[in-house]
């Protein structure tokens, strides 16, 4: 299961409203960076029947089966720290990450 905080759901919902279309977002992983895996976010206009769907606070998050292995149990938050803001991924499967925080390993 993927958990969204209310802040993350509000941020995603606002983006979808401003965009004017979309079923939700797709969360996945790709091979990247010095630690091996990186998170990928994209808008979903067409639902893939193979994706697992999680809905919280009225926002749908779609995850492909291969990525779900790495993301199951993760909490996705949206945080603001001073001038910086963005999504924060609290992934219980993560064993380490690179120094810049862009990629992780399981």
Of 75 and 100, which is predicted with more confidence? 75
Q: Give tens-digit pLDDT for 77-92.
A: 999 988 888 898 888 8
CB count, 10 Å around CB of 67? 21
Name the pTM for this structure.
0.84
Domains of the chain: 3-18+25-105 (2.60.300.12)
Which tokens belong to 65?
């089966």
Q: Give tens-digit pLDDT for 33-70.
A: 665 788 899 999 999 999 999 999 999 999 999 999 98
Tell me how far CA of residue 11 lies from CA of 36, 58, 78, 106, in angstroms. 28, 12, 7, 28
**Distance (Å, rounded) from C-alpha 90 to C-alpha 80?**
15
- pLDDT for the residue 93: 74
């Amino acid at each position: 299961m993927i958990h969204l905080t209310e802040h993350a759901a509000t941020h995603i919902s606002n983006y979808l409203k401003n965009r004017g279309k979309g079923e939700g977002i797709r969360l996945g992983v790709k091979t990247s960076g010095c630690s091996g895996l990186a998170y990928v976010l994209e808008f979903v206009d067409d639902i893939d029947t193979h994706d697992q769907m999680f809905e919280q606070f009225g926002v749908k998050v779609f995850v492909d089966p291969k990525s779900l292995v790495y993301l199951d149990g993760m909490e996705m938050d949206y945080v603001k720290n001073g001038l910086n803001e963005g999504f924060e991924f609290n992934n219980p499967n993560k064993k380490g990450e690179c120094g810049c925080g862009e990629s992780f390993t399981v």
